[in-house]
Structure 1
């Protein structure tokens, strides 16, 4: 599958999470394995999973060495440390991911986490309810937060919806400034619209390189002046540039 932008990814993941949540208990194993495979195959979602691991590294390191035979007291201490919804979401993701990495999967492969960690569920249906409440839904909510509200902090990060809005505001301001200076309005408009679309699927590093390339090309083509190109790149990326001198 091609790389999806944030809007497409949001739609796909929403549907896939719901498929897992409302699947027959016997079908959760396959549907959830497919979901994790999908998340790992897309650059934006893979980046989000990596960021969750990095942001909640302490919890990850506590969970990583544990197995089904780990002391109940250890499990209880970890559960009692989940004081916020985001910690619950990271907890859900880490344990789902541990199960995902196990080579042999049985019918209740994921949903039995409800019993092993919370003693919830005397049959598959009850275990699935507990699994959805304590693992799947909190993971989905945390994933959705990264997709919609998180800030781009590193070059490898992609723009969340909130970050996109800030970029769009800058691009629209830049379009206004350039057209007021008398540069080709239609060309500038088209270039700005293309940059908005690229914001939805490029990480911060690649997006910044595209910004530089586009305005350099506009200057070389005589659409805008070299000085205007330098100022435009600095305005959008916050990076001083001497490439055109």
Structure 2
């Protein structure tokens, strides 16, 4: 009951009341990982980094393999520009759960910032080997890696495979638009756009790559209404 009320208060931005309700729930069940994780997410949401870290550490003491707490510890390190710590937490999680694509996408971002993108390849391969069929998360991560390693043609194709997914679609579309509008898009081949879904180029007879890129970006912008809106209090 306390947790449901806390979530309602958080959605209404009554954060102090929500925090107190989560604490009340933990007084009753101090080792409940779900409640402690929800409290940590709330602290992160209101940018109370110190209390978020403390709450995650408390959770990891009783549940050392808690995925949510591990991701938050990594995100905290990332926000503080502590990239080595962030990599440690993401890699620890991916070693036990290779297909945790949220962690993999974040790891790729960290490795890009540190100029060590080549270290992402083994984790991408590990994820591919751990699944029987490609998923939107895998397509997104591969697209991200392709984009950052200078292969925008492949990146567009990978993001296109993820763009209709409710979890990955919004980020995939934004990345596709950015690639299409990149001033250096002369590296894009016209065959890239021709290979995308027919709906993105069915009305275009243009053979000019730049024109096709702009048309594709425009259609992606017009078609993004399917994307779900985030709740006021929702953390990935």
Q: Same fold (TM over 0.5)?
A: no
Higher relative contact order (CA 8 A, sep 6+): 1
| Higher CA-based Rg | 1
TM-score, structure 2 normalization: 0.31
Give the TM-score normalised by structure 1. 0.30
